[in-house]
Structure 1
Amino acid sequence: MSNMLLPLAAMVAVAAPAAAQTGDLAAVQRHLGDVQSMTAAFTQTDRNGQVLTGTLTLKKPGKVRFQYQKGVPLLIVGDGKALTFVDYSVNQVQRWPIGNSPLGVLLDPSRDISRYAKVVPSPNPAVLSVEAYDPKHPEYGRTTLVFARNAAAPGGLMLQGWAALDSQGNRTTIRLSDQKFNVPVSNDAFRWTDPRRRGRTG
């Protein structure tokens, strides 16, 4: 599976000093607090190397939509309370609390990431990677957010994507492009058609 994280050199780099860790985590917290909405194109790669593309729409608190490319019968929508995974090919719907998902760090602006996140050392000073992991809930998996330092972006950081590792060791990588921050997003963007009942929407 393709890995969006840093080269092997980053894995053996000396741990970042505590002061740098604190400053970088504060920058990420600032970015997450400054971003109230976002749209972007995404490329998703799963553990088997399968690549899907689509459009990401995000609005805080808790609203997100992964609209996959034409012909892919999948949809992921967050309505502020739960994430819903819809597979229209088999008329299946699954829901789970947003706080339990790897996306929780992006969708909940009230979370203090310094309590459960750490900076991943990088040989490239223009890149900042942060791994979020809750040791009290290992079943939530690990999420590594990757940012490019960019003075014009919210909090001075441009979210490039993330890698999510679930409790079974399955890694999914999301790469973003054409990011637009704090643009108007209608709540209608997070409605969806329930395949189990014609005409019902979430």
Structure 2
Amino acid sequence: MTLALATPALVAAAPQQNDLAQVQTHLQAVSSMTASFSQTDRAGKTLNGTMTLKRPGKIRFQYEKGVPQLIVADGSSLYFIDYQVRQVERWPIGNSPLAVLLNPKRDITQFAKLVPTGDSRVISVEVRDPKHPEYGRITMIFQRSAGSPGGLMLQGWVALDSQNNRTTIRLSDQRFNAAIADGTFRWNDPRRSSGPRR
């Protein structure tokens, strides 16, 4: 009797654990990634560009021509650079929702939960640090893909910062585990007259 009552819960829990484990496997199998991205902010404004990821700790969002902004993580810090007003904002990588993508050693199964999608081919995972709600949260969308690392393809994510600013990223033309030079993550500091940052 007890076993019969417990069985449905066990059956429901097993796929969740398996899906989270698969996401963890995918993230650990990705050493680098490039993709085209489409970014939509809470006002509905959309910008396009190219994303380059190299783990651990490096990512670059290069916006389309004419957009004077750049987002770069160099291994320790995440920078938002606005060349139009010559300003630079900096955060420790660990304080950003993107940390889950940048740290291959992070065990997401400890602080992630599955979000129902209604489609068995799609896995949606919300990640947030309950000890640090100010870091915001990120909901990543994966599609099952036999030819991709860990059998999953990252389709994009929705990031919500501590001020409830929502940013949606959609990816296309994803490519994994090609060699990427560290120089890709250098950037020109608009607060200086010339020359790349460090």
Same fold (TM over 0.5): yes
> Could you tell me how far apart the structure 1 residues matched to 2:85 and 2:14 are?
51
Query: TM-score with structure 1 length normalisation?
Result: 0.91
Report the Cα offset of residue 69 of structure 1: 0.5
Q: Which structure has the larger Rg?
A: 2
The DSSP-based 3-state class of the residue aligned with 1:169 is: coil
Report the Cα offset of residue 17 of structure 1: 2.1
Query: Any residues of structure 2 matched to 1:86-97 within 5 Å, and which?
Result: 86-97=81-92
| Equivalence for 2:70 | 75
| Equivalence for 2:191 | 196
Report the Cα offset of residue 133 of structure 1: 1.1
> Could you tell me how far apart the structure 2 residues matched to 1:161 and 1:25 are?
16
User: 4+ runs of 1 displaced by more than 6 Å?
Assistant: none
| Equivalence for 1:33 | 28
Q: Which amino acid aligns with 1:114?
A: T
> Could you tell me how far apart the structure 2 residues matched to 1:17 and 1:130 are?
16
Q: How many residues align?
A: 187
User: Where does structure 1 lack aligned partners over 5 or more consecutive residues?
Assistant: 1-15
| Equivalence for 1:20 | 15
Query: Any residues of structure 2 matched to 1:78-157 within 5 Å, and which?
Result: 78-157=73-152
Q: Deviations over 1:22-80 (max 9, x none)?
A: 10110000000000000000000000000000000000100100000100000001000
| Equivalence for 1:52 | 47
> Could you tell me how far apart the structure 2 residues matched to 1:188 and 1:167 are?
31
| Equivalence for 1:175 | 170
Report the Cα offset of residue 201 of structure 1: 2.0
Percent of residue pairs bearing the same amino acid type: 64
Q: Which moved more, 1:87-96 or 1:164-173?
A: 164-173
Report the Cα offset of residue 200 of structure 1: 3.6
Q: Which amino acid aligns with 1:140?
A: Y
Report the Cα offset of residue 127 of structure 1: 0.4
User: Where does structure 2 lack aligned partners over 5 or more consecutive residues?
Assistant: 1-10
Q: Which amino acid aligns with 1:34?
A: A
> Could you tell me how far apart the structure 1 residues matched to 2:12 and 2:93 are?
32
Aligned-CA RMSD value: 1.0
Q: Which amino acid aligns with 1:145?
A: M
Q: Deviations over 1:90-145 (max 9, x none)?
A: 00011101111011000000100011101111210010000001111010111000
